[in-house]
Each structure stands twice: as structure tokens, then as C-alpha cells.
Amino acid sequence: MEPLQCGMSPIVGFRFSLHPMASNFVKVIKGALTDIDTSNVWLHTDDVSTIIRGKQIHVFNVAKALTLHTAKTGEHVALSGTFSIGCPGDSSGDVFLEKDDVLLNTDKTQQYVSSQFALYPMNNPDYMAVIYHEVERAKQQGVFNDSMHYASGIDGDIHDVFSFYEQAFTNALSDKHRHLVMTVSMSINSPSHGGS
Amino acid sequence: MEPLQCGMSPIVGFRFSLHPMASNFVKVIKGALTDIDTSNVWLHTDDVSTIIRGKQIHVFNVAKALTLHTAKTGEHVALSGTFSIGCPGDSSGDVFLEKDDVLLNTDKTQQYVSSQFALYPMNNPDYMAVIYHEVERAKQQGVFNDSMHYASGIDGDIHDVFSFYEQAFTNALSDKHRHLVMTVSMSINSPSHGGS
């Protein structure tokens, strides 16, 4: 039997798919990966998704920058992904933990995004309280959009929304409960929402 | 404080986004929703995702049928979604549990799909053993594709792949641990994979 202890590693990962709803989607994605500075994260793309790993601040910075860059094409863009930390089955490699904390992508362009998220604190009997706390915080911060089955709606400017998500990820983790998962889906430039 | 007991409801939900990578994506999605029989599930679409709820067999049947129908356009199609059951914060409404067990979508067209999944059995100290068991079963069934950070690769014919996922969802649930989440990402007709 393999040891099933929860990991002590500070590695944060984000496995995601970023979809521009356009025939030239390959060009759009490759352009984003070229123009954004991803040198602070380990990055690998396969035929279904892309994974970035590294320090939490850089993983969130690159995730936001890729999304913002793709959104600026004006195409309808959809992002779906899962942030993870402390997965007991994870390996320690494929990560750049020696990087400093200077953020490499600093585009402040405003961009309305509509999104949904769910938190899954693993092996934590009090996990619903953790979730409710973050939903309440979203309401206080003005980024809460809607209640719904299995998720909560978060919308606003992309910088406010990603800031909320990174803080939620930090808050939901504890020394006792080190395996945390957060799913995020995001829609930008959609004909279905009227944000500006 | 709200009661945080895990739900006893047999309602299964699937919150997903289905993305054809094409300029006419709205037409493709609307066509799928019209041509597929969704009358056995409660269905609601918002600006980010679509949710279907009902008996497990019908939720998986409709999820597969929508994906297959969209794939048959020949466009590159991406599916991302989360299957859930027993969420303590869920409400009991918005579900068609009185339906019989006759499946309404029976298109047997073969279609190669490449996908990735992750199981999150909530509040279960033995959750890693549950996950390893299903990954091992995928290998035995010939649908295991690859190991990777935070997920496992599953590929093959769409019917074999969805059958594996429905069985994994069933297996990972127990009377003691009634809140289960499973994320699935799928790519079809992608220029990045060589399936046929």
C-alpha cells in the first residue's frame, strides 16, 4: 500500500483548458503562450488540457495573464480549470519553487468576466463551513453574482475576480487540511452576458 | 449555523460547458439541445455553464448524447464539467426523480474521445484508495491513457469512456460517504490527438 499522507509541498498546480470560440483557436492560444511570460511556472500542454505548476503567486499570475491576453482578441473565450495543492498522489517534480516573488505579467487592462467556482477541501469534516465562509466573503467584496447548484457565481473585472480566487484558495487551506481543490469556469465576451 | 449533514438525496447533477471551437458555436450548441431528448433531466443554461439534474442514468445518458451530437459536426469540441451527488448545501428541487429508467438517447455511433478525470470523495479519510481503485480499473478496462498531475487520462470510444465514468461515479460513492464530485474534461476531433 502506498503512503496516503497528505503532501507537505507548497506546489500549486492549475490544470485548465482555455477555449476561444473561433476557427483560428490554435493561433489565438499559441499567441497567448508566446506573448505571456510563463518562465516562472512549469508548463505542459497535452491534447486535452494545459498544466502550470509553481509558487501560488505565479500560477495565479500566469492563469490571469493567459486569460486576459486571450480575451483581448475580442473572441468569446471560455476557461475551465482546477487549482490544486497538497495532492497526496502528486510528485514533487515539475515545479519552479526557487523563483522569487516578482510578478512577470502586469497588464492592468480591465475586462469583465463572468465565472463560477467550487471549493473542495479534502478530508476535512468542516469543509462546508470553509466554503460558506468564502461565499460570504465574495458577497462582501462585491464579486458575488449568483447562487446555483454545485457552484457560486463570481463576476466583475478580471483582476478583482482572480484576486478573490487566489485569496479563497489561501483561506481554504490550513495546516491540518493540506489538500485543497478549487474548480473555476469563466466566460468572457459572451453573447449571453451583458457585462462591460 | 446551518446543518452540515451530507445529503441523502439520489439527485445527480452535471454542471458543464460544451465548446465547439467554431465561429458558429451558438448554432451548434442550440442544435444539440434541440436534437437530443433532454426530457428526463432538469436542464438550465446560464452565461457560463449548463446544469442537468436527475437520476444518474439519465444525467450520464444526456451528457454523452450532447457530446456525441456536437462531435458529429466534425468541429473540434471540448467538454469540461463536474458530476456531483450528495452536496450538503444542495436543495432538493429542480430534478425529475419520478422518471422511469428507459434511456431516451441511444445513438451508438462510434467516436474517439480523449479525456481526463479526477475523483473527489468528500470528507472521506480513505479517499486516495478510492481514487487508486478506479484508476486501476481503467487500466484493466483498456481505457487508461496516461498518468499526469492532478488527473488521469482516459481515452477510447465515447461509449466505453462514458461507461467507465458512470461506473467510477457509482463505485466511489458509499453509504458512509455520500458527497462525491468527479471532474471530467474531454477533447474530440482535436488536431492535437491522433485518435480515429
Q: Nearest CB to B185: which of A25, A48, A116? A: A48
How far, in Å, CA of A152 to CA of B164, rounded? 29
| Residue B186 Cα, gap to closest chain A Cα (Å) | 6
Strands across the sheet containing A12-20: A42-45, A50-54, A12-20, A77-85, A180-188, A112-121, A151-157, A144-148
Contacts of residue A6 in chain B, CB cutoff 8 Å?
A: none
DSSP class per residue in B33-99: HHHS--TTSEEEE-SS-EEEEE-HHHHHHHHHHHHHHHHTT-S-EEEEEEEEE--TT--S-S--TT-
| Residue B37 Cα, gap to closest chain A Cα (Å) | 22
pTM of the predicted protein model? 0.94
The pLDDT score that the predictor gives to residue B94 is 77
| Residue A33 Cα, gap to closest chain B Cα (Å) | 16
Judge: B15–A122 Cβ closer than 8 Å, yes or no.
Answer: no
Which ipTM did the prediction report? Answer: 0.93
Contacts of residue B2 in chain A, CB cutoff 8 Å?
A: 128, 132
The pLDDT score that the predictor gives to residue A196 is 38
What Å distances lie between residue B83 and A55, A104, B60, B86, CA to CA?
29, 36, 9, 11
pLDDT digits (tens, 9 = 90+) for A44-65: 999 999 999 999 999 999 999 9
Low-confidence ranges of chain B (pLDDT < 50): 1-6, 195-196
What's the CATH number of domain A12-87+108-188, 3.30.70.930, 3.90.1530.10, 3.30.70.80, 1.10.10.10?
3.30.70.930
What Å distances lie between residue B60 and A88, B12, B159, B168, B172, CA to CA?
29, 9, 11, 12, 16
pLDDT digits (tens, 9 = 90+) for A86-106: 987 777 777 888 899 999 999
Contacts of residue A178 in chain B, CB cutoff 8 Å?
A: none
Interface test mutation site (partner B, options A24, A48, A196, max chain B beta carbons within 10 A): A48
Domain boundaries, chain A: 12-87+108-188
Interface test mutation site (partner A, options B4, B6, B48, max chain A beta carbons within 10 A): B48
Binding site residue list of B for thiamine: 18, 50
How many residue pairs from chains A and B have C-beta atoms closer than 8 A?
156
Q: What is the mean pLDDT of residues A132-152?
A: 96
pLDDT digits (tens, 9 = 90+) for B65-113: 999 999 999 989 999 999 999 988 777 777 888 899 999 999 999 999 9
